[in-house]
Chains A and B, each alone.
Chain A
């Protein structure tokens, strides 16, 4: 595709890409470097982008891959989903219904505590409102894995939130 179209396709995604990068890196300056690296890589590879395919999934995938090979990304890559498996297997409790009333800052804190695989899939699904198929493209995993990982991520988040309520740090 002609380079001129790159700006037209990529700039409307700028805010979303930055938000996602900040969630992954948990640091403003690293997120800025990651977004800049993503745009530079995407522009270099734009001639290989297939018109008619999903540009958003394509550029989010570049961002995520760049993160995984960054210093911070390599550090967290080892701490995968297993770490929170135990939390994720907690049975839904009646208190869980209170989650809906959870304070924004508590949810944000819980999201930050989630492992990267769980955090990123929740962000792509809930914040970016991507379809399972699109998430599968970004994460380079089958749609079935998207569904099961999303399910476990939600359980893990719920377990973390319940833990916070039980800890009594923040009343509901």
Chain B
């Protein structure tokens, strides 16, 4: 039987809803308490079973066509492309529809993979002896440091009057593409901001609001051809506040 004190936290733990500090604390407890560990294992197994059994109903092609039929048509200003689409042969339409269903099933896994990679980068950076290569709270020092190191430039926000503090930056790689990683501090918590060149359609449908995964909160958006990610073990509201500052920078 699990300890009463911990039992109520196990759901939040397996659902990735605890803060990093709480998750670490519970993780330590699980390593020493076989009752809680077995209960946590059972919950994880049950989550997997339900996730597997729950993904079972697929819509018909006919329904997809019906739904596509009610979508707003492009305006006249876009009519060049509109006419092109209308004129495309049926084979191409089928190809697009196949590609779309392939994309939908891949989208979730892809997002998990990218978020997992970014969480690893974030944790590895904080664990390293030299987390940042340019140490400065001054955006006018950090931004020029990246010139010549990455193939793009970006603007950083003014932090006066906010609880955020810029710690510094380093070059980060995702899928072998170089980008900027900036570390911000908020009430003793570090938050990473990653900026890469936008990969376009691959991430186009990703929700821009804060998402919790792996005990971290993520937020992502695109601006001026760049893809931004904010990753941290702070609340969704804090991640959102930093994201807003970045979105409005320059």
Within residues 41 to 82 of chain B, which ones have a CB less than 8 A from any CB in chain A?
41-60, 63-64, 66-68, 70-72, 74-75, 78
A54 to B15, CA, bound (A): 19
**Is B113's CB within 8 Å of the partner chain A?**
no
Q: What's the nearest-Cβ distance from chain B to residue A144, in Å?
A: 12
CB of A127 within 8 A of CB of B51, answer yes
Within residues 1 to 58 of chain B, which ones have a CB less than 8 A from any CB in chain A?
1, 8, 11-12, 15, 17, 38-39, 41-58
Kindly report which residue of chain B lies nearest to residue A43, judged by CB atoms.
Answer: B70
**Is B101's CB within 8 Å of the partner chain A?**
yes
A35 / chain B contacts, CB cutoff of 8 Å: 59, 63, 67
A102 to B15, CA, bound (A): 20
CB of B72 within 8 A of CB of A147, answer no
CB of A12 within 8 A of CB of B51, answer no
A100 to B49, CA, bound (A): 7
A39 to B44, CA, bound (A): 34
Check A23/B54 contact, CB under 8 A, given A14-B59, A18-B63, A54-B209. yes
Check A43/B17 contact, CB under 8 A, given A32-B60, A100-B41, A102-B49. no
**Is A61's CB within 8 Å of the partner chain B?**
no
Kindly report which residue of chain A lies nearest to residue B208, judged by CB atoms.
Answer: A52
A92 / chain B contacts, CB cutoff of 8 Å: 1, 39, 42
9-residue interface stretch from A66-74, A81-89, A104-112, A164-172: A104-112
Check A100/B59 contact, CB under 8 A, given A4-B74, A52-B209, A126-B47. no
**Is B126's CB within 8 Å of the partner chain A?**
no
Pick the contact of A99: B42, B55, B209 (CB < 8 A): B42
State the A residues within 8 Å of B (CB). 3-4, 6-9, 11-12, 14-15, 18-19, 22-23, 28, 31-32, 35-36, 39-40, 43, 52-56, 92, 96-97, 99-102, 104-105, 107-108, 111, 122-123, 125-127, 129, 131-133, 147, 150-151, 154, 157-158
Given A99-B46, A99-B49, output 12 extra A-B contacts at Cβ < 8 Å: A9-B205, A12-B205, A32-B66, A36-B63, A36-B66, A55-B207, A105-B53, A107-B52, A126-B51, A127-B51, A147-B12, A154-B43
